[in-house]
């Protein structure tokens, strides 16, 4: 039923790059005529890839950024998938050093803050 049906896929600039790629592949396998507008910025893709690489090699991962930042949320999701001991902190008060007491290596990455609304 989907064969040849035209669809367009657009990604938010901070969307998880690997998830976006997977979604496109799934739709292509279903024989949709897919047009892709990948607006994920290169810096976001690189930051996500590097954060995942770090998270795969450390005992704990800290993701710093605003709780309302899409970029920071995606970094947290990616790191959490690679490292169970991933912590999301927005302020120093969010960091509980007791959680890191038994770890030897800690990775740190940072997202951003949301754009101000006017």
Q: Where in the chain is the domain with CATH 3.40.1010.20?
A: 44-110
* Beta-strand runs (E) in 1-118: 6-10, 33-37, 60-64, 86-89, 106-110
Tokens of 65: 């950024």
pLDDT at 112: 67
H/E run at residue 18: helix 17-29
pLDDT of residue 87: 93
Nearest to 30 by CA among 13, 48, 6: 6
DSSP annotation of 35: E
**Count of beta carbons in the 10 Å neighbourhood of residue 25:** 11
Class of 44-110 per CATH?
alpha beta
Name the token pair of 106.
């800690």
Question: Interhelix angle for 42-55 vs 17-29, to 10°?
Answer: 100
Q: How would you write the pLDDT of the chain (118 residues) with one tens digit per residue?
A: 556 688 888 776 667 778 888 888 888 888 778 787 777 677 777 888 899 999 999 999 999 988 888 888 989 999 999 999 999 999 888 888 888 888 899 999 988 655 544 4
Q: How far apart are CA 50 and CA 43, in angstroms?
A: 10
The reported pLDDT for the residue numbered 54 is 94
Q: What pLDDT is attached to residue 29? A: 84
- Please give the pLDDT value at position 118: 46
């Amino acid at each position: 039923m989907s064969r040849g049906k035209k669809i367009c896929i657009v990604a938010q600039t901070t969307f998880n790059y690997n998830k976006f790629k997977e979604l496109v592949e799934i739709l292509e396998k279903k024989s949709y005529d897919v047009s892709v507008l990948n607006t994920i910025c290169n810096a976001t893709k690189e930051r996500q890839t590097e954060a995942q690489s770090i998270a795969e090699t450390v005992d704990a991962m800290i993701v710093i950024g605003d709780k309302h930042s899409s970029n920071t949320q995606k970094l947290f999701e990616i790191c959490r998938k690679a490292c169970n001991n991933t912590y999301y902190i927005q302020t120093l008060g969010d960091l509980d050093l007791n959680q890191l007491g038994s770890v030897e290596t800690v990775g740190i990455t940072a997202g951003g803050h949301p754009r101000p609304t006017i």
